[in-house]
Amino acid sequence: MFWVFLVLYALAMAVFVVGWFGLFGFSHDPLAGVFLIPLGLPWNFAGDLFPLAMQPYVSLAAPLITLEILRRLSKPKRRKAQTEHGGV
């Protein structure tokens, strides 16, 4: 699940950057970040706490929180070797 989310986030981020900054001959599109909204939920709601100029960057970074949660959940659990130290 982690890798699927990572690919979707990379694609959505690429669409956002190209549309927002008008790269490769595309016109500036304020709706370029529409694909980032579902990927960043529920963390996108924290964007209201930031100034209006920072909200596009918060929307860009919000899916990173979910990505980190997925990374930690998908990491295999390692068992520590249990040794006996004098009956401890």
Q: What is the pLDDT of residues 28-67, one digit of tens each?
A: 777 777 888 888 888 888 888 889 888 878 888 889 999 9
Please determine, for residue 21, whether its predicted confidence score (pLDDT) is greater than 90: no
- CA-based nearest residue to 65, from 85, 86, 45, 88: 45
- Positive or negative: CA dihedral 12, 36, 63, 24: positive
Residue 20 and residue 85: Cα distance in Å, rounded?
61
Locate 3 and state its tokens: 């890798």
How many contiguous H segments (helices) and E segments (strands) does the chain have? 3, 0
Banded pLDDT at 6 (limits 50, 70, 90): very high
Banded pLDDT at 10 (limits 50, 70, 90): very high
The pLDDT value given to residue 11:
92
pTM exceeds 0.75: no
Locate 68 and state its tokens: 């980190």
